[in-house]
Amino acid sequence: MLYLILKAAISGVIIAIVSETAKRWPGLGALIASLPLVSILGMIWLWRDTHDPVRMEQHVGATFWFVLPSLPMFLLVPALMKRGAPFWAALAAGCALTIALYLGMTAAGPRFGLKL
């Protein structure tokens, strides 16, 4: 249980650092947020818990393929806001697009031999 709390605390600290940094320096906050810190922590926790190289290879490979459909959200949200859309509406549209692209990736990936 302590291990789970530690994982949650470290992950929460990273989110807090990003949001606090972005208040002062939006670009630096974005840089920190763009780092694959969650992916790296996920890999560390998975490796510590399993020491399974096959599972790690599958996890890292799937992470790569799931990053791709998430990227358009980072273009759509600012584009909508630039055109006057409220933040929450732009964010909802970005999330909806990402979900649709995730579903597409999940459906199409196995057809191309991807284990997702």
Yes or no: say if 77 and 91 are a contact pair by the CB < 8 Å rule. Answer: yes
Sequence length of the chain is 116
Q: Given CA atoms 54, 55, 58, 63 in this order, what sign does their dihedral have?
A: negative
Per-residue pLDDT of the chain (116 residues; tens, 9 = 90+): 898 999 899 888 988 999 999 999 999 999 888 889 889 989 999 999 999 999 999 999 999 999 999 999 999 999 999 999 999 999 999 999 999 999 999 999 999 988 88
Rounded to a whole number of angstroms, the CA Rg of the chain reads 17
Q: Position 15: which residue type?
A: I
- Name the token pair of 104: 């597409």
Where do the domains of the chain lie? 52-116
